[in-house]
Amino acid sequence: MSTVVREQDLEALVVGVTLLGSGGGGDTGAFGRMLRRRLGAGELVLRDAADVPGVSVSPIGVVGATSVLMEKLPSGGEFDTAVRAVSRWTGAEVTGLMSLEAGGLNGLTPLIAALDLDLPVVDADLMGRALPRLDQFSWAVAGRALTPCALSEPSGQVIVVDNVDAAGLERAVRSFVAQTGGWAVLALAPTAVEAAAADAVQGSLTRALTLGRAYAALDPGATPAVIAADLGGRLLASGRVDEVARHLITDGGAAFGRGSLCVVDSGSRAVIRIETENEYLLALVDGTPVVSTPDLLCVLDRRTLQPIAVDEVRTGDEVLVLALPGPNWWRRPDRLTHVGPRAFGLACEPLLLEEAS
């Protein structure tokens, strides 16, 4: 079933993709404003794959440093350049778009690109949330090639990458964005929509919109447990951030932020520690692991209920720590190995909520 997005839905959609970011995925605010300007009083349809037979879909999104991206926003031309380049290389026309990841700003990227290029959007993505690495795309996990693909950066430079695996593409992307503007638009090869959706998380943007609408209906005066339940999740803590630790690690020349934060629950006095990278990854209560990626860990400001990103949480913040179900696609054991705690160097098996969506 298709989902129609209008101007009055955008605030909910922005909040929804932010929550699917699990503390990462970049700043959605600026992209939300871009989308609002592009959409105006019009509407955009998130189409089920079955509703657009014959469409050739390119998954598209932004890769690189989102902090740099906020200093130099896309002009819109980067989308067209990347799509045209991958079309020329493959000899196949792109007639539809889908998202690389539903969490964070890339949940909004294909909508902006679709309005700029006048193409339909398929309601599916390759992660169902935010994750940091290209080898964590569902296509890669399912054994599909990620190349050929095209990268376009703000000054107009474009490259095509072909005949490499996910790790090789990761290295090519890092090298390209390091030498250019710090970020680029990535467009994967056009693929028949039936095949594209078969190895993707379907309905992810509709889920973001539904989650955002539930968030908009929250009563800030409700108990923390009710707030968590109204979002379809579980409360882990309501209290004060007691400690935040951050450090950098290097891997193949790239630097990643790792860290943890501790929250002391105001009622039970339990200590909740959250291990982080680009996203919140693992929650432990008094040293016992309780919930992990690929389920969603979200930290909300206790007063405003605004989601707090990994790099914005500070000692002394009064917060709610919630766990929300992650995408069903990842819950098979062979897939969990790619996105569970051990995939991030954390010595813990995946711990998921009973219900997933």
In a structure prediction context, what are the per-residue pLDDT tens digits for the chain, which is 357 residues long? 789 999 999 999 999 999 999 999 998 998 999 999 999 999 999 999 999 999 999 999 999 887 767 677 777 789 999 999 999 999 999 999 999 999 999 999 999 999 999 999 999 999 999 999 999 999 999 999 999 999 999 888 999 999 999 999 999 999 999 888 789 999 999 999 999 999 999 999 999 999 999 999 999 899 999 999 999 999 999 999 999 998 877 665 555 678 999 999 999 999 999 999 999 999 999 999 999 999 999 999 999 999 999 999 999 999 999 999 999 999 999 999 999 999 999 999 999 997 433
Specify the DSSP class assigned to residue 190: P
The letter for the amino acid at 59 is: P
DSSP state of 189: P
User: What does the pLDDT read at residue 253?
Assistant: 52
Q: Is the peptide bond before 148 cis (omega within 30 degrees of 0)?
A: yes
Residue 72 confidence (pLDDT): 72
Cβ atoms 210, 232 nearer than 8 A? no
pLDDT of residue 75: 76
Q: What is the pLDDT of residue 356?
A: 39
Q: At what angle do helices 28-39 and 109-117 cross, to 10 degrees?
A: 30
Mapped onto helix, strand or coil, the DSSP state of residue 317 is coil
Are 340 and 295 in contact by the 8 Å Cβ rule? The answer is no
Radius of gyration of the chain (CA): 19
Structure token pair of residue 20:
């699917």
Cis ω for the linkage preceding 294 (within 30 of 0): yes
**Residue 60, Cα to own-chain centre: how many angstroms?**
12
Encoding tokens for residue 141? 């996990």
Tokens 């995925």 found at? 25
Are 50 and 57 in contact by the 8 Å Cβ rule? The answer is no
Taking a C-beta distance cutoff of 8 angstroms, is the pair 253, 174 a contact?
Answer: yes
272: closest CA among 307, 234, 221, 309? 234
pLDDT at 357: 38
Report the pLDDT value the prediction gives residue 232, as an integer from 0 to 100: 97
For residues 63 and 105, the answer to whether their CB atoms sit within 8 Å is no
- Contact between 103 and 127 under an 8 Å Cβ cutoff? The reply is yes
What is the pLDDT, as a whole number, of residue 181? 78
The per-residue DSSP string of 118-187 comes to: T--EEEEESSSS--S-GGGSHHHHTT----SEEEE-TTS-EEEE-S--HHHHHHHHHHHHHHTTSEEEEE
Buried-exposed string 329-352: b where 16+ CB fall within 10 A, e elsewhere: bbeeeebbebbbbebbebeeebbb
CA–CA distance, 132 with 21 (Å, rounded to integer): 10
